Amino acid sequence: MNKKTKRIAVLGSTGSIGTQALDVISRHKKLFSVEVLTANNNSELLIRQAEKHNPNFVVIKNEKKYAEVFAALDKKGIKVFCGEKSIEDVVESENIDVVLTALVGYSGLKPTIRAITKGKKIALANKETLVVAGDLITKMSLEYGAEIIPVDSEHSAIFQCLVGEGFNNIEKIYLTASGGPFRGWGSDKLEYVTKKEALMHPNWNMGAKITIDSATLMNKGLEVIEAKWLFDLKPSQVEVVVHPQSIIHSAVQFEDGSIKAQLGLPDMMLPIQYALGYPKRLKNSFKRFSFFNYPELTFEKPDLKTFKCLNLAYLAMQKGGNAPCVLNAANEVAVEAFLKDKISFLKIADLIGSCLEKINFVASPKIEDYVETDLQTRSLAKKIVSHGSNFN
Ligand code: MN
């Protein structure tokens, strides 16, 4: 094999997706090499990853940790940078073929835009980027020829179902949802949910932000918006189906009524590997699914009355403009406040609803409007949090 390796930038390398991506990369050393690693705070793990994968560049966002990372890696010939701006700059490096965006939340937006303007292939694990600015991102990706390959398991499933379908139209997609740890619960019980309970997801092992989003069903709401942009759909073409076993990762219904679905065990290693290896499927030794271990696959409608976050996401998507950006910023503040025991579980949706009502609507936002909307929403949401339970 004398083909060049794909050189990967892993943004957010110490998180759940980042560490699994490095695992995938080390299982296929002839195919992949690591060009860039970036992390927010976890300098210790970042240093260990850099020692193992020998990238050309490393960025630690927290500037206080720069000296420590520099001392460990500079002598090995690895260039070390710090700060948020450096993450945006480093993705432009000529030696990168694929940028895996595994950053959390809004922080993924600017580096993704910079990578797109350099025509890099994007393995997108940061759904918030498309939620906030899907219109802009999809237009830019066409303009600069920067292909976006989803890493999110549902979107990877849909993407895989569409391979080979050419110009056949999608009638609708079924986005599956596990339902999270509180499936079937009513508001009376949800009122008293603790952080610990919300952090225990039945099927998927993920970071804290996305695990709380899964418990509120906001994660599915964000994914509905993500799907709309990735696959150019109308809001009415995206239906959420609760499927507690998380075996069917999503499905596409074509215009002849035929449905294609992608199945497998709930393990992020597969969608990560698919995005990095695309268009090739790479042989691996991951655990295989057995139909006989799952004699029953079940399906339900989501409870939009109780899980208001999903409903709010649909409303924001239908409204368009900067509404999904408000939704996302308010949600990030609300989740952080819940994780710090400042607000209760049900107040997450209330807080987002208040922000959607109060922030000025912009019908056709430019990048500056998204930045402004994000700032305004965070400031309003934080104010509401600090005023306790009095939301209106
Ligand atoms: Mn997902």
Measuring CA to CA, how many Å separate 232 from each of 102, 197, 254? 23, 36, 14
Is residue 324 within 8 A of residue 134, CB to CB? The reply is yes
- How much distance in Å is there from the Cα of 96 to the middle of ligand 1? 26
- How much distance in Å is there from the Cα of 58 to the middle of ligand 1? 28
- How much distance in Å is there from the Cα of 121 to the middle of ligand 1? 20
- How much distance in Å is there from the Cα of 218 to the middle of ligand 1? 11
- How much distance in Å is there from the Cα of 230 to the middle of ligand 1? 14
- How much distance in Å is there from the Cα of 222 to the middle of ligand 1? 9
- How much distance in Å is there from the Cα of 177 to the middle of ligand 1? 8
pLDDT at residue 389 in the model: 52
Q: What is the three-class DSSP state of 174?
A: strand
What backbone phi and psi angles, to 5 degrees, belong to 8?
Answer: -110, 135
- How much distance in Å is there from the Cα of 103 to the middle of ligand 1? 15
Is residue 101 within 8 A of residue 108, CB to CB? The reply is yes
- How much distance in Å is there from the Cα of 374 to the middle of ligand 1? 23
- How much distance in Å is there from the Cα of 153 to the middle of ligand 1? 5
- How much distance in Å is there from the Cα of 208 to the middle of ligand 1? 14
- How much distance in Å is there from the Cα of 152 to the middle of ligand 1? 5
- How much distance in Å is there from the Cα of 206 to the middle of ligand 1? 10
- How much distance in Å is there from the Cα of 81 to the middle of ligand 1? 31
- How much distance in Å is there from the Cα of 304 to the middle of ligand 1? 18
Tokens of 180: 């999270």
Assign domain 156-267+297-386 to its CATH architecture. Answer: Orthogonal Bundle (1.10)
- How much distance in Å is there from the Cα of 383 to the middle of ligand 1? 30
Determine the length of the chain. 392
Measuring CA to CA, how many Å separate 182 from each of 66, 188, 268, 306? 41, 12, 22, 10
- How much distance in Å is there from the Cα of 214 to the middle of ligand 1? 9
- How much distance in Å is there from the Cα of 387 to the middle of ligand 1? 33
- How much distance in Å is there from the Cα of 3 to the middle of ligand 1? 33
Residue carrying the six token digits 């079924």 = 174
Question: What is the gyration radius of the CA atoms in the chain, in angstroms?
Answer: 21
Positive/negative CA dihedral, 115, 119, 125, 127: positive
Is there a shared CATH topology between the 6-150 domain and the 156-267+297-386 domain? no
The H-or-E segment that residue 314 falls in is helix 308-319
- How much distance in Å is there from the Cα of 220 to the middle of ligand 1? 7
Say what angle helices 16-27 and 269-277 make with each other, to 10 degrees. 60
- How much distance in Å is there from the Cα of 307 to the middle of ligand 1? 17
In words, the CATH class of domain 6-150 is alpha beta
Say what angle helices 347-358 and 323-339 make with each other, to 10 degrees. 150
Measuring CA to CA, how many Å separate 277 from each of 27, 100, 330, 372? 12, 12, 35, 37
Specify the amino acid at residue 91.
Answer: V
Domain-wise residue ranges, the chain: 6-150, 156-267+297-386
pLDDT at residue 2 in the model: 43
d(CA 386, CA 259): 48
d(CA 180, CA 202): 7
- How much distance in Å is there from the Cα of 256 to the middle of ligand 1? 27
Specify the amino acid at residue 291.
Answer: F
- How much distance in Å is there from the Cα of 201 to the middle of ligand 1? 13
- How much distance in Å is there from the Cα of 355 to the middle of ligand 1? 25
Is residue 111 within 8 A of residue 101, CB to CB? The reply is yes
The low-confidence residues of the chain, meaning pLDDT below 70, are: 1-3, 389-392
